[in-house]
Amino acid sequence: MERLAGYLGQLFPYEKSQLYMTLLGTFVADIANAQNTATFVDKVCKSIFANTTNVVGLRLMTRSYIKIYGKSSQVKRDYTFDNIRSTVYFTCENQQESEFVKICLFVADNIYNAVKRMESYEKLVSYDPLTGAYTKRVGLNILKAQIARSKRQGTETFVVFLDLDNFKHFNDTYGHIEGDKLLEKFGEHVRTNLRQHDLFIRYGGDEFVLFLETASPEIVVERLLNNSPVSFSYGIASTKEAESLKELLEIADRRMYDTKKVRKSSL
């Protein structure tokens, strides 16, 4: 920040540089706690808009996200840095404010490196690397919140417990490398066939939990069984059947094992 203060001092008269230094500090405080790209980009746009007088709109892009904020105008400036690119629209020509915006975006570009590291860490701890499902810890926390929302709204949703058939035998016969490949294929199959708002959680080695917002959970699960790289048994519990997540999982788990026993006895 000291180097930036010196740079601002070279660009602007003393009083103006002090003002812009204060505004820059506000800008950094606004965006520093962003946890992901979408939040970061949103905060950058809003803070630049709030800390300037002539900016009427921004178009800001990262490699994975784009946001358009405010409105366009005839007076615009393009700014390009390592991580972000932006077009900023002004009410009129103002060299000093254009330079200030440039400095803000330069600072934002550097802060975004930390945001990307945070996202990588979140992805590492949130998702199972083999199947792409949520990890048990993260997934069950999300599931608990989804169930609470369903109960507040009075809507019926469903928890599904899945258990892959004979997976231990497959591992013992073909080895763990082939078992991992099978899990990868199964995870891709499930993620491809679920809707965006459904949840897919790896509960254990060959056990998975789904959260479905649909009136026909059996149809969804049967669709998953079609063309699945491995067969599985399942049990379904309605969120209207129990109050707690633990109870719902126990109901779905019990029904899954009942189904597995019936299937084994029929062979």
Q: Which residues are catalytic?
A: 206
Sign of the CA dihedral running 209, 214, 217, 219: negative
Strands 207-212 and 55-61: unpaired
* Cβ contact 62:71 at 8 Å: no
Distance CA 211, CA 201 (A): 9
Residues in a beta bridge with 90: 55, 75
> 58 by DSSP, 3-state: which?
strand
Distance CA 240, CA 150 (A): 9
Distance CA 114, CA 231 (A): 42
The amino acid present at 86, given as its one-letter code, is S
Burial environment of residue 211 by CB neighbours within 10 A (0 to 12, 13 to 18, 19 or more):
buried
Distance CA 236, CA 147 (A): 14
> 215 by DSSP, 3-state: which?
coil
Give, for 75, the enclosing helix (H) or strand (E). strand 75-80
The amino acid present at 180, given as its one-letter code, is D
* Cβ contact 59:73 at 8 Å: no
